[in-house]
Amino acid sequence: MRWLGALAVLVLLALPAVLGSYATTILILVFFYGFLGQAWNIVGGYAGQLSVGHAAFVGIGGYTAAMLSLEWGITPWIGMFVGGALAAVLGAVIGYLGFRFGLRGFYFVLLTVAFAEICRIAVSNVDAVGGALGLYITFTGDPRQFQFQDGRVYYYIALALMLAATGVVALLERRRFGIYLAAIREDESAAEALGVDTFKYKMLAMVVSSFLTGLGGTFYAFYLFSLQPNAMFGIPLSVEIILRPIVGGAGTLLGPILGSFMLTPLGELSRLYFGQGGHHGLHLVAYGVLLIAVVLFLPQGAYPYLRRFFVGSRP
Residue 241 · residue 40 · CB < 8 Å: yes
Phi, psi dihedrals of residue 227, rounded to the nearest 5°: -135, 115
DSSP β-bridge partners for residue 226: 136
pLDDT tier for residue 161 given thresholds of 50, 70 and 90: very high
| Distances in whole angstroms, Cα of residue 246 to Cα of each of 155, 158, 168, 249, 302 | 24, 21, 19, 5, 9
Residue 282 · residue 228 · CB < 8 Å: no
DSSP string, 111-162: HHHHHHHHHHHHHHT-GGGTGGG-EEPPP---GGGT--SSTHHHHHHHHHHH
pLDDT tier for residue 267 given thresholds of 50, 70 and 90: confident
Lowest mean pLDDT, pick from 14-28, 32-46, 169-183, 276-290: 276-290
- What average pLDDT is seen over the chain? 90
- What pLDDT score does 140 carry? 87
Query: Does residue 249 come out as left (phi exceeding 0), alpha (psi in the -120 to 50 range) or beta?
Result: left
Lowest mean pLDDT, pick from 48-57, 92-101, 127-136, 215-224: 127-136
Residue 65 burial (10 A CB sphere; 0-12, 13-18, 19+): buried
* pLDDT, tens only, 107-132: 999 999 999 999 999 999 999 899 98
Q: Give yes or no for residue 134 having a pLDDT over 60.
A: yes
- What pLDDT score does 315 carry? 45
Q: Which helix (H) or strand (E) holds 227?
A: strand 226-227
Number of C-beta neighbours around residue 314 at 10 A: 5
Number of C-beta neighbours around residue 275 at 10 A: 13
pTM of the predicted model over 0.85: yes
Q: Give yes or no for residue 281 having a pLDDT over 70.
A: no
SS3 state of residue 278: coil
* pLDDT, tens only, 198-225: 999 999 999 999 999 999 999 999 999 9
Most confident of the following: 220-234, 266-280, 300-314: 220-234
Lowest mean pLDDT, pick from 131-135, 195-199, 200-204, 273-277: 273-277
